[in-house]
Amino acid sequence: MKKIIIAVISFFVGIVCLSARIASLEHFNRAENFYVAGEYEKAVEHYEKGFETNPDNFSARQLWGVSLHIAAYNNFEAGNFSRALPFLRRLRNLDPEDEHIEKMYQTALSAIREEKEEVKAESPPPQVPEEYIRTLVSLLEMQIQFQKERLKHEDSFRQEIVSRTEVLQKSMILNLQEQTQKLEKTYIYTVGAGLIVLSIFIIFLVYYSRKREKLILKYQNRILVKLEEQFSTGLQNNSMQSAGRYNEKIERLQPNNKIQGIKLIESELAGYSEEKKIAEKLLLPLINDKDKEVEMRALTALYKYNPGKALEKFTVLGYSQHPSTRIKTIRQLALIPDEDTIRLIFGIAMDPDKNVRKEAIKVLNKIYSRGEVRISHEIRSKIKRFIKEEKMDMIID
């Protein structure tokens, strides 16, 4: 807080000093104007006002001295002793050893006294010595030379500022041009590299997509061949040329043959668990089959490759309108027990249908009793509490 107060006081003191400085310069300018106009008394007055806040102005001091001499001399010569006396007093204080000034001062003082006593005394004004006039002329010449030197210095300083400004502007323009060229080159290189990387990425995607399509066609054809060998279904005719009609051919199979086809697909994809897109392509006509048994078997096979999609379809089946479908869903989920499928079975166990609930409780009790599947403590506690509430004492096979 003290620092802020000191800073504020310093700021206002600086403003006051600056204002006083400006006021003194205005008085000096007015004094010079009066000096040039020959009004030396007014010039003296304004010089002295300027000295109140700026006493160290050398050039103003010189002109003030000249104006003081001329004002004293003019008034003294004109017989205006009362007006000449203040100026003579100042000159006397400046140079007490100047006999001529002392003589003029005493003369003016005596004349004023005589005027007060109403005594008329005619005395010729003292002659100003030539030495005094030469001094005044010398002072004037010095002042003129000083002004010329100041103007010359100001011109040279102004020219130097202009030249330095031009050099600085040129340097800034050159630097800006260099930076712009560097940015343009960097932008071109960056865009070029980006286009190259993007092209390589697109080529890779196209290559990978075609490779995967060929692999899918290969699997589809192999499955059709094996189905033909087992069941003589007539699916193999011109198979490579009509592999795009794989879905139609699979849909024409009987449900039992479709289940065999699912087993063939699982055997073909053994060891390729990361190829979930291929598995989806091969199982697509089967996971949307009208026969619920086929559909559930296909979803069970898909669960290995894409659990999320398979679980989504199982959820729809588990909450269907037909209790028999819900019971089949519970039995099918029991074949692939894990945390997610157990959660779904537990959800279906809240079914209002007694038979559905009974089947769900039976499966959950078997999973809970054997403890073969790692499930969270939360789900395990819920299953235990639910079985207890239902009061079902089942015998574990």
pLDDT, tens only, 265-287: 877 777 555 566 777 778 888 88
Query: Which of 80, 112, 128 corresponds to the end of one domain?
Result: 128
pLDDT, tens only, 199-208: 887 887 776 6
Cα 341 from Cα 349, distance rounded (Å): 12
At 301, is the pLDDT very low, low, confident or very high (cuts 50, 70, 90)?
A: confident
Residue type for 328, please? K
Within-domain flag for 49: yes
Rank 25-34, 231-240, 313-322 by mean pLDDT and report only the highest.
313-322
Buried/exposed code over 120-137 (b: 16+ C-beta within 10 A; e: otherwise):
eeeeeeeeeeeebeeebe
At 249, is the pLDDT very low, low, confident or very high (cuts 50, 70, 90)?
A: confident
- The whole-number pLDDT of residue 3 equals 64
Cα 337 from Cα 354, distance rounded (Å): 23
For the ranges 87-101, 125-139, 254-268, the lowest mean pLDDT is seen at 125-139
Within-domain flag for 159: no
pLDDT, tens only, 144-182: 888 888 888 778 878 878 888 788 778 878 877 888 788
Within-domain flag for 60: yes
pLDDT, tens only, 367-388: 777 766 677 788 778 777 877 7
Within-domain flag for 70: yes
Which residue did the predictor score with more confidence, 145 or 210?
145
Report helix angle 255-268 to 292-302, nearest 10.
10
Residue type for 53, please? T
Within-domain flag for 198: no
At 397, is the pLDDT very low, low, confident or very high (cuts 50, 70, 90)?
A: very low
Residue 73: pLDDT over 80: yes
Within-domain flag for 340: yes
Query: Which of 80, 96, 128 corresponds to the end of one domain?
Result: 128
Q: Output the average pLDDT for the chain.
A: 78
Mean pLDDT to the nearest integer, 225-239 = 58
> How far separated are the first and last CA of the chain, in Å rounded?
87
What is the DSSP track for 245-264? GHHHHHHTS-HHHHHHHHHH
Rank 243-247, 285-289, 326-330, 361-365 by mean pLDDT and report only the highest.
326-330
Domains contained in the chain, number: 2
- How much of the chain, in percent, has pLDDT values that exceed 70? 78
pTM for this structure? 0.43
Mean pLDDT to the nearest integer, 4-9 = 65
Which residue did the predictor score with more confidence, 241 or 334?
334
What is the DSSP track for 347-372? HHTT-SSHHHHHHHHHHHHHHHHH--
In the block, which residue shows the tokens 């005596």?
Answer: 110
Cα 385 from Cα 364, distance rounded (Å): 12
- The whole-number pLDDT of residue 239 equals 44
Cα 383 from Cα 365, distance rounded (Å): 8
- The whole-number pLDDT of residue 71 equals 84
Cα 327 from Cα 388, distance rounded (Å): 21
- The whole-number pLDDT of residue 120 equals 47
Within-domain flag for 94: yes
What is the DSSP track for 47-65? HHHHHTT-TT-HHHHHHHH
- The whole-number pLDDT of residue 162 equals 82
Question: Rg for the chain (alpha carbons), in Å?
Answer: 58
- The whole-number pLDDT of residue 134 equals 82
Within-domain flag for 166: no
* Domain limits for position 94: 2-128
Cα 7 from Cα 24, distance rounded (Å): 26
Alpha carbons within 13 angstroms on the beta-carbon side of residue 41 total 12
CATH code, domain with 83:
1.25.40
Residue 245: pLDDT over 70: yes
